[in-house]
């Protein structure tokens, strides 16, 4: 389960931002999670709920996960398509000269604090 390692990194980043900005309490974190990032949202949420209790600023923090669609681009026909539906094969031309444009990353989008 690699979710715990990613949760720890996210919490470290948020805690550092809270300290640098003189924040006493983080109430919400918006996190963009790529559809093909290999993160299991339910595992991630469970790890977050456990880990936040061990923090200085985030004990009552809400996690808002925004799932970002996996979108691939075909270099042959210049079209985009949903990666989770078609994989590496472009549905428009059948080509495999494709690459993932969005949907792989995990990124803190917003931190709300008081």
Q: pLDDT tens across 45-72, in order?
A: 999 999 999 999 999 999 999 999 999 9
- Whether residue 32 contacts residue 99, with contact meaning beta carbons closer than 8 Å, is answered with no
What DSSP designation does 100 have?
Answer: E
Average pLDDT over residues 103-110: 97
Strands 80-82 and 71-74: antiparallel
Domain of residue 14 covers 3-69+103-113
Is residue 89 included in any domain, yes or no?
no
Q: Which two tokens stand for residue 89?
A: 């094969």
The predicted structure's pLDDT at residue 108 = 97
Question: How far from the centroid of its chain's Cα atoms is residue 17's Cα?
Answer: 18
HSE (CB half, 13 Å, CA atoms) of 27? Answer: 3
CATH number for the domain spanning 13: value is 3.30.2320.50
Task: With H, G, I as helix, E, B as strand and everything else as coil, classify residue 89.
Answer: coil
Is residue 97 included in any domain, yes or no?
no
Is residue 85 included in any domain, yes or no?
no
Is residue 10 included in any domain, yes or no?
yes
- Residue 26: which pLDDT band, with cuts at 50, 70 and 90? very high
């Amino acid at each position: 389960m690699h979710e715990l390692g990613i949760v720890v990194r996210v919490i470290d980043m948020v805690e550092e931002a809270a300290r640098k900005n003189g924040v006493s309490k983080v109430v919400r974190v918006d996190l963009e999670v790529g559809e093909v990032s290999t993160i299991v949202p339910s595992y991630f949420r469970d790890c977050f709920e456990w880990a936040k209790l061990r923090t200085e600023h985030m004990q009552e923090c809400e996690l808002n996960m925004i799932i970002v669609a996996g979108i691939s681009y075909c270099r042959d026909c210049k079209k985009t398509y949903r990666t989770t539906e078609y994989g590496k094969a472009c549905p428009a031309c059948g080509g495999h000269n494709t690459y993932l444009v969005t949907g792989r990353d995990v990124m803190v989008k917003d931190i709300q604090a008081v």
